[in-house]
Amino acid sequence: MVAEPNNWGRFGPDDQRGTLNLLTPEVVLQALGAAATGRVLSLALPIRGATSSAAPATVPHLKGRPLPQHFMSVDGGDYAAGARPIGAGLRVADDALVVSPHGTTTHMDALCHMWSGDELYNGHPAARVRSYGATRCGIERVGGVVARGVLFDVPRGLGLDHLPAGHRVTPAELEDLDPGLRAGDVAVVRTGWPAVWRRSPEEYWSGQPGLSPEAGRWLAARDVSAVACDNAAIGGLDSRQSAAEGLADDLHLVLLHRHGIHLMEMLWLEELSETGRTEFVLVAAPLRIEGGTGSPINPLAIL
């Protein structure tokens, strides 16, 4: 592990939840005070699955990643073709959804998602990540997240609709927007980049703006419980859709691996930006996928 400030051992030698431990009952109750109107906004992109149409391609995603697949095991057409009702005229539709969340849907990364060397966050053996899932630091360890969300609307602060692809958010830009970040808050960073998809998927794939390594460390030093962003990787991406930083500055390693800070990626923050609200109650819960490296989520902002 790179020698820099980190949270290994801070929450005990067996910890697998990282800074989510900061969300004590007292902190959660205090966070509920961030709601003022009771209006609820979903911060998730839609999951559009299909096997015979371009529907999934209408939602922002990283090129080359497996798109969601939505299958119907029984539907109205089956009954129209003569299938028997299951009883007394009762009919049912049943479906199956296959989703690989990373790079294709609004999701949360587990602490087992990325590491360097032979250890996961907090020194757990990386060999415990097996073909059937991770037996340490899996997404099922998260439970639910109820916290004060703090929006850093970077393009709005700069008078832009969205940040340019090559822009890397600096600590100074976060400081200029900071409405008073507290320990246990979820830092929500808007780049505006998902809106580019509607204009041109090729432009969306040309790169992505995101946090600089220094900005990631700035947030970690303020004890955020999680970091959420509307881009695909929290940090920026180049034209190959890869992070250009080395291991010392890779934001997944800085945040997930060293500080135990869960990441929420590919949020939709345009409606939230339009409200002008900078603080709100954030609620998010991943699926309890045992050993999962991540999970789709539907984050809710309660204004």
Using CA atoms, how far apart are residues 105 and 124, in angstroms rounded to an integer?
Answer: 28
Q: What is the pLDDT of residue 196?
A: 97
- The conformation of residue 3, written as its DSSP 8-state character, comes to S
Question: SS3 of 209, please?
Answer: coil
pTM across the whole model:
0.95
- Residue ranges in the chain modelled with pLDDT below 70: 1-3
Domains and CATH numbers, the chain: 18-46+101-302 (3.50.30.50), 66-98 (no CATH)
241 to each of 231, 266, 270, how far by Cα in Å? 11, 14, 23
Using CA atoms, how far apart are residues 168 and 234, in angstroms rounded to an integer?
Answer: 10
Summarize pLDDT for 98-152 with one digit per residue, the tens.
Answer: 888 999 999 999 999 999 999 999 999 999 999 999 999 999 999 999 999 999 9
Which burial class, exposed, middle or buried, applies to 222 when counting CB atoms under 10 A from its CB (0-12, 13-18, 19+)?
A: middle
List CB contacts of 60: < 8 A, sequence separation 6 or more: 45, 194, 197, 204, 232, 266
Q: What is the pLDDT of residue 1?
A: 53
123 to each of 6, 33, 150, how far by Cα in Å? 12, 36, 30
